[in-house]
Structure 1
């Protein structure tokens, strides 16, 4: 099963409703047994250079491109958190 990984920065956590909604959505998927990993650039900066597609986006576009969603090693979304329908579609493709 391919992984769904989201690379983010705490700069996106300004109490915005969107991030609160995403955290609720993330918890629901995890409770359903679907693993979605979230990595914060400030907690683990070296990880951002270990994942080649993420490193390329950061070098070209900077942290403004975050969050970056990677599914099965490929970037599927950047600049916004995935919504419910995207996560449903991507998690179905990973099975």
Structure 2
């Protein structure tokens, strides 16, 4: 059976983290990671609460949000089971779920947010 990973994002304007005046390195990391995995044939999907609320009717995610609110997002479901809440999956977690070497995924990420606002 092919492993299926679903990531349930909080409400945001876009999944990349590059919209708005400051860039969140964690959002760019997860966007790049998911894109790389999908391009390599892995079954990974992200859902944005603002744009795809119907996807949040997953029993596990609904229960999580009823108990802890939207602050519990992002949430990750692997093969129908909630496995992580409050943070995005690490390279190691993806590697374990899909059975590959963690170093195959790692790319350099910015160490701090980039602020494009004028001061």
Give 4+ residue runs of structure 1 displaced > 6 Å after superposition: none
* Larger helix share, 1 or 2: 1
The answer for the alignment partner of 2:65 in structure 1 is 58
| Deviation for aligned residue 1:23 | 1.1
| Deviation for aligned residue 1:15 | 2.2
Gaps of 5+ in 1: none
Q: Cα deviation per residue 1:35-74 (whole Å; 9 max; x = unaligned)?
A: 200011111212212x100000000001100010000110
Q: Which has the higher contact order (CA 8 A, sep 6+)?
A: 1
Which structure has the greater CA radius of gyration?
2
> What is the aligned length?
91
The answer for the alignment partner of 1:88 in structure 2 is 95
What's the RMSD between the two structures over aligned residues? Answer: 1.7
The answer for the alignment partner of 2:114 in structure 1 is none
Gaps of 5+ in 2: 100-119
